[in-house]
Structure 1
Amino acid sequence: MAAIPSFIRDNVYIASSEVTAAAEDAALAIRDFDHEFGSGIAPFSAILLRTESVSSSQIENVTANARSIEMAVLGDDSKRNATLVVDNVAAMNAALAAADALDTAAVLEMHRALMKHADPKGAGIWRSEPVWIGRSSSSPVGADFVAPDARRVPALMDDLMAYAGRNDVQVLSQAAIAHAQFETIHPFTDGNGRTGRALMHAMLRNKGLTRAVTVPVSAGLLNHVREYHDALTAYRKGDPDGIILLTSEATFRAIDNGRRLAGDITAARARWKDVIKARKDAAAWKIADLLARQPVVNAKLLEDRLGLSGPTIWRQMQVLEEAGVVQGFDKFKRGRHWKSDEILDALDAFAARSGRRGRG
């Protein structure tokens, strides 16, 4: 039987003291992390947003290594999963861009960006058919959860976004509950998990908890996928404590992992300062700064982003290759590319530490 969720627009939920304290501590940790890395390391906001998108995709078993993802950013569509991760980055950017106006139109835009390659016909459109979780893909019989009738989706989403817009609820608890309600509504035929997690980040930005960076909460959830799904099930049975507590705990894990990633990138940039033999005003330094957030580049990207001419690009990339900062390679039909193995290794190490554990 299809679920019939309650409306939550005016919901007043008082969590246990343990959960309330955990959510408040996690919120403070997010604010501190945002302040620390939002102002101190310029390229880190882009890297963190990318890592959140990678982890959110991994929860849905969409995996790709850092190099494949960076190639997809440059337009290489030969690796489908990498393309889907890049679409998730686009969905996250849409979420943050819409943070000032949380409404259903913003959610549809997030989904449109996410699914533009995976399901172009269904992208950005509420579902019109039944969906369920578990067992058979052809019938809801015996399913773990059957989402609400499609005709209920528009009203449920209007109600959810009204709740998301409230300013009288503890922010992290509100974001966790909104996410769980979104997953209960399951408003799309596909892409619900990734869109719902993007919505959480839009809410954190809307409430001012984050201003410059994206805390990769999904990397923390990825460590405990079974518990994550169990917490969503408990929410559907009327107990939000689990999803609030798990989101709080995931926040601390994500922040710890994010700090380690920041340390790896900072160490790489410090080493580059010692080995790059170029004048202080040379374009090689601008390219090095770009590599810290875009670790695979080609001539077109460098021309578009930095305004460099072709001859300048080749001269400066030779300097960086000789210093061991980049490694050049040729991509069939796409010309010469350069990669920073140090940054790619740091991103893959972040993903490995996140590690999907448990099944659900």
Structure 2
Amino acid sequence: MPDLLSAHALDLTAELAADVADTERELAAFEGAPDQGLEQLARFLLRAEAVASSKIEGLQVNSRRLARHEARIAAGIPDRDATAEAVLGNVLAMQHAVDQVATAETVELQHLLDIHAALMEHSDQPDIGGHVRTTQNWIGGNDFNPCQAVFVPPPPEYLAGLLEDLCRFINRDDLPGTVQAGLVHAQFETIHPFADGNGRTGRALIQVVLKRRGLARNFVPPVSLALATRASAYVDALTRFRYVGDADHDEALSGIRDWLDLFLSAVRRATADAANLQKLLEQMQEDWRTAARPRSGSAAARLLSELIANPVVTSDDVIRLTQASRSAAFAAIDSLSAAGVIRPVGDQHRYRMFEASRVFDVLTDYERATATESGDTRDERPRRAVPYRRNSEPT
């Protein structure tokens, strides 16, 4: 049974306060950096965050597989990939969180339920979406009783009060936003209010708070990637947050500080990695323009600016994204194909798909770099599962 967040004095040490200031300064610098026309970076980062959050829960899908699945579904092509569909649900839930919940005047319980409903709609348990659990659950141990469990969250009769307190805390603006985001996430994971999907919903709440407090208005720092790299430390820090004793006891204060130390370092790493990714994507788009030399204002030029967030497209997608006629869209496809920017994939004639392969190469390098402390897998083994670098991909 966690104490209410309102019960904590939140007395930060001087060292932790300095870490908070450094973290929020780095977020502000990234927010204020010119995007040089890369308006699609925001969606790209959001998808990276959603995919990473899913991987923490054991849902392993690489970016190419997810993009192809999404393109097939949008085109009406049957694609029975349950794992990709579940990850797509997390993308949609994250999008809903930052677009709708983060901009709400006041966050209420229904907003949390809506995030969870969006997440579970694409899972094998859509019926539990948006419903607070009514039975006891636990993590670890066996399926029959919680005696050997690693963690046992509060009984269901206490959830209403805990969630009401959590929403009140989300709506506060009298403490640093990064501290607020970290405590909201840890408290939500401790409450564990749903039968499934708690981790992914709780990590979406990090983005809700950061955006509400003006720390990540335009971009989503992929904090889940940083947390996944330090998965053991992440779980250990959450465990230390779950102290035994009074809210003002030394063990409680120490546990909160340990958790915030881990969380703040993850936010700083995610922000630095996102800034590096931005540079890679800017260079990629410049290379595309050099190779394709599209006429200004043409459908090909408009398509180039959309490929980062939409790396797998059909001809109908190109028409929709560029607002061009069918003939102009096909001309853009031919032009960018000839320049090597996109290539055809699959054998569906009617719903032929085209892929900007270099987007996946950049994302692969990004995921591999974020899986190490040094940022270079040539000198350090990745700390989590990462995609392989490949010169080409099978169609």
Alpha-carbon distance in 1 for matches of 2:143, 2:369: 32
The equivalent of 2:13 in structure 1 is 16
Task: Tell me how far 1:168 sits from its aligned partner.
Answer: 1.2
**Aligned pair count?**
356
Alpha-carbon distance in 2 for matches of 1:144, 1:37: 46
Identity percentage over the alignment?
30
Task: Tell me how far 1:22 sits from its aligned partner.
Answer: 1.0
The equivalent of 1:157 in structure 2 is 163
| Map 1:47-196 → 2, pairs under 5 A | 47-76=44-73, 77-96=79-98, 97-99=100-102, 100=104, 101-118=106-123, 119-196=125-202
Task: Tell me how far 1:260 sits from its aligned partner.
Answer: 2.4
Greater mean alpha carbon deviation, residues 57-66 or residues 79-88: 79-88
The equivalent of 2:236 in structure 1 is 230
What TM-score, normalized by structure 1, do the two folds share?
A: 0.94
Instruction: Work out whether 1:341 is the aligned partner of 2:389.
Output: no
What TM-score, normalized by structure 2, do the two folds share?
A: 0.86
Greater mean alpha carbon deviation, residues 255-264 or residues 30-39: 30-39
- Unpaired runs of 5+ residues, structure 2, are 74-78, 244-251, 372-381, 386-395
The equivalent of 1:357 in structure 2 is 383
Structure of higher RCO (CA pairs closer than 8 Å, 6+ residues apart) = 1
Alpha-carbon distance in 2 for matches of 1:337, 1:75: 8
- Unpaired runs of 5+ residues, structure 1, are none
Alpha-carbon distance in 2 for matches of 1:103, 1:6: 20
Instruction: Give the letter for the 1:170 counterpart.
Output: P
RMSD, aligned α-carbons: 1.9
Task: Tell me how far 1:93 sits from its aligned partner.
Answer: 1.4
The equivalent of 2:392 in structure 1 is none
Task: Tell me how far 1:61 sits from its aligned partner.
Answer: 1.5
Residues 38, 213 of structure 1: 8 Å contact kept: no
Alpha-carbon distance in 1 for matches of 2:160, 2:95: 24
After superposition, give the CA deviation of every residue in 1:270-312 in whole Å (9 maximum; x if it has no partner): 1111111442232101111110221111122222232223322
Cα 1:294–1:352 change in 2 (3 A) is: same
Cα 1:81–1:334 change in 2 (3 A) is: farther
Matched residue SS, 1:233? helix
The equivalent of 1:248 in structure 2 is 264
| Map 1:280-291 → 2, pairs under 5 A | 280-291=296-307
Residues 45, 214 of structure 1: 8 Å contact kept: yes
Task: Tell me how far 1:37 sits from its aligned partner.
Answer: 5.4
Task: Tell me how far 1:333 sits from its aligned partner.
Answer: 7.7
Greater mean alpha carbon deviation, residues 10-19 or residues 214-223: 10-19
Matched residue SS, 1:74? helix
Residues 226, 358 of structure 1: 8 Å contact kept: no
Residue among 273, 298, 305 paired with 1:257:
273
Greater mean alpha carbon deviation, residues 205-214 or residues 329-338: 329-338
Residues 10, 163 of structure 1: 8 Å contact kept: no
The equivalent of 1:44 in structure 2 is 41
Alpha-carbon distance in 1 for matches of 2:6, 2:108: 13
Cα 1:277–1:31 change in 2 (3 A) is: closer
Instruction: Give the letter for the 2:120 counterpart.
Output: M
Alpha-carbon distance in 1 for matches of 2:148, 2:168: 33
Alpha-carbon distance in 2 for matches of 1:338, 1:283: 15
Alpha-carbon distance in 2 for matches of 1:259, 1:331: 37
Alpha-carbon distance in 1 for matches of 2:370, 2:53: 11
